[in-house]
Structure 1
């Protein structure tokens, strides 16, 4: 069975790469010149290709991980193809590096799916393969496989680091985490998530042991009463754990490589006088709490094929009926956060090439009350996310939510690319969907990908004072 599964997965990998290459060829023919952020990334990579490592474009905000990996991939290829040593670093060649990351991401998603859903070995093979394929075609990530952006490599190294964490190779995971930070500094949050899962596992063990002795909790883990007393129990447990030298020592013995990464990152921030490398005026940290609500809505939309069902809808209605006061308080808090903390980046309002521009213009700017009227949707989306993760332990969920907040809230710019890694982490940890649901998810991804690629290739336009061709994109 495992051998047969391997054959299926290999065939799908080959098909995926062939289809991606055909799309890549079409897109590169239509858009030969660097586009959008490529106007910064491509020249910088070409400087690295020519050995000019001391030259840097101050408009680039990320560390040079993408360019270093690119040189490491392209240089040997050039040496093998051209013995004269002539350096070839065209825009198409640079973009092709992300197609390689696409193959790597598909393989890592498959390995992660197998590791996280190992209990269903006998009948889960087709679902594991299809789930990995579906996630590798996740529209926002898949689109940027065809441009020279950092998203493919950033996702690859975070997924690889998390896989190593699950296998207990924490030194390798920490090293891969450093590589991911070189692609995007905010990935330090997901390196912390890798460490957080170790802490959560330790907490789970102690929680189960304590409540098994007391025999007052038949299903330890996430099944904590959603009440004031339940919250007190968890808070008391967290306090006791974090103030226990014995428990902290046990965690540090395992998680110390991640602590080393954290120290290196702190040193970088101090030396760099901030997280962002360049263009600091346009990328300042802030408290934009509605970003969390935008992510929850985004996750609700893309997870509908695998999360929407009659039983889940009934559970939500029952939860509303049982705890009306809790939902009123949550709605009130959401209204307050939307009222006081909604921030709008000037790039969002000025650049009509990105889809978030139209989301903001046609939804949020329709009327001043719209952002408040969407609060019930945010509450539903938040409940749906937690309900999809209810098979995970309480402390794992808390670690994930903490990292989700840390990755979303400080971002002022509404940019769907920032949602790629948190969404993949959320979707990977859901129970493995049935084959019909996975096919629906794959169909949704295919339709969105077809639409966005069609718009990018065919629906071009011009700005009034520019002769350059403009295209729609994520």
Structure 2
């Protein structure tokens, strides 16, 4: 009891320190960039319309639902009246951006609670690992940077994590309601509502799978080999499971709140004639399979302090030696997918303010065959991703992979912000790293954050046909 209270004091002090540091960075960025920048040019005026009660006005260039603006107005108006602040402060750019700092504090707390919930065995070990793990993930570079601008990422991530925490605690009605909130920030969060439901269905399928193989004499019969035949076994079993009336009833008994959200989302899509609210010409879904490969490479880089080690590299070489034809087939299939299903958004090629512009130009556009050179890295990144999750059950992993594919492949634009939630989910479900590895991860994230903020603030430039100051960002 005493140790838990001491851990609570340490975590509270950490939250206060984190908020103070974030406020200092926020102050610096806001002083340097006082006016709305990039997507803020759409978000800030729309929020200000809501602040003045003009809820019937909508900017057709905005693609997401108005969750960010509704929450902002709901928080800012009472605070301004309570503090008796002047009217020009109401929904100013700085005040609107400050909302995401509040979300940042909430995300740190949610990550801490999720770490404690997902790794219960760690309760007997030093609290520093739980606290440092939560702190490190809250400073995940892409997410942390957008805490200082008026974007939807912080609020979207907050509601997704909150919904998942409620799922883990068995509060499924609350989780589904929070999932609706997440969808109001970004429609694609329906994928993570489905993931919350999938975490309920997966144990039922795992139990049925074990029962189906319990009477077999082969002790390895319940294990699935990494092969086409193994994948076929899983798919056939899943189809039989879902086709069974008894199983469907059992699934609906536990997952009906999420099913209601799914039905409501389908109705929304029918009425809206699609997922995107506005600017549909620039945000059309497509089959962009290499987007999954980019995500796996992205995850390999940012998880390298906690996922890469000599033993894992040795296991990969052993797997490569045992199944060379399988890995060769995967590499060939990946090459074909890169060749036939690579989609390049015009924004990626035209906007030199984003880091992805330079990643694409300097890595993928150097030569017409350059994109194929990374296929071996994709194969290793995919293997490392799966190996990091091997402690999770078969059908949980299958559900998670399905959600990762659904969250990445339909996206035409290479945008690191789309990787935030899938990466955090991946990292949360990895085995708890050691304290030195967590410290190394935190140092990596801090270095990347410092570089990103420095480049945004100090390395400005101007376009030849525009006098406005431009800045580099994620």
TM-score w.r.t. length of structure 1: 0.97
State the secondary structure of the residue aligned to 1:120: helix
Instruction: Name the residue aligned to 1:58.
Output: 60
Structure 1 CA distance, aligned partners of 2:55 and 2:49? 7
Structure 1 CA distance, aligned partners of 2:289 and 2:177? 31
Distance of aligned partners of 1:22 and 1:250 in 2 relative to their CA distance in 1, 3 Å threshold: same
Structure 1 CA distance, aligned partners of 2:218 and 2:239? 21
Instruction: Name the residue aligned to 2:91.
Output: 89
Structure 2 CA distance, aligned partners of 1:468 and 1:201? 55
Q: Which of these residues, 125, 128, 131, is aligned with residue 130 of structure 2?
A: 128
C-alpha contact 1:388 1:431 (8 A) present in aligned 2? yes
Q: Which of these residues, 45, 48, 57, is aligned with residue 46 of structure 1?
A: 48
Structure 1 CA distance, aligned partners of 2:220 and 2:73? 56
Instruction: Name the residue aligned to 1:117.
Output: 119
Unpaired runs of 5+ in structure 1?
none
Question: Is 2:160 the partner of 1:158?
Answer: yes
Instruction: Name the residue aligned to 2:253.
Output: 253
Structure 2 CA distance, aligned partners of 1:3 and 1:237? 47
Structure 2 CA distance, aligned partners of 1:191 and 1:117? 22
CA displacement at 1:357 relative to structure 2: 0.1
Q: What does the per-residue CA deviation read over 1:150-184, in whole Å, with 9 as the maximum and x for residues that have no partner? A: 00000000000011111111111100000000000
Q: What does the per-residue CA deviation read over 1:224-269, in whole Å, with 9 as the maximum and x for residues that have no partner? A: 2234553343233212211111111001011011111011111111
Structure 1 CA distance, aligned partners of 2:30 and 2:234? 54
CA displacement at 1:428 relative to structure 2: 0.3
CA displacement at 1:86 relative to structure 2: 7.6
C-alpha contact 1:139 1:449 (8 A) present in aligned 2? yes
Structure 2 CA distance, aligned partners of 1:139 and 1:83? 33
Matches within 5 A, 1:43-442: 43-82=45-84, 88-214=90-216, 216-217=218-219, 223-442=223-442
Structure 1 CA distance, aligned partners of 2:203 and 2:80? 47
Matches within 5 A, 1:16-27: 16-27=18-29
Q: Which of these residues, 22, 30, 33, is aligned with residue 31 of structure 1?
A: 33
Mean CA deviation greater in 157-166 or 85-94: 85-94
Q: What does the per-residue CA deviation read over 1:26-77, in whole Å, with 9 as the maximum and x for residues that have no partner? A: 0000000000000000000000000000000010000000000000000110
State the secondary structure of the residue aligned to 1:51: coil
Distance of aligned partners of 1:361 and 1:201 in 2 relative to their CA distance in 1, 3 Å threshold: same
Question: May I ask how many residue pairs the two structures share in their alignment?
Answer: 472
Mean CA deviation greater in 387-396 or 85-94: 85-94
CA displacement at 1:11 relative to structure 2: 1.1
C-alpha contact 2:68 2:185 (8 A) present in aligned 1? yes
C-alpha contact 1:75 1:87 (8 A) present in aligned 2? no
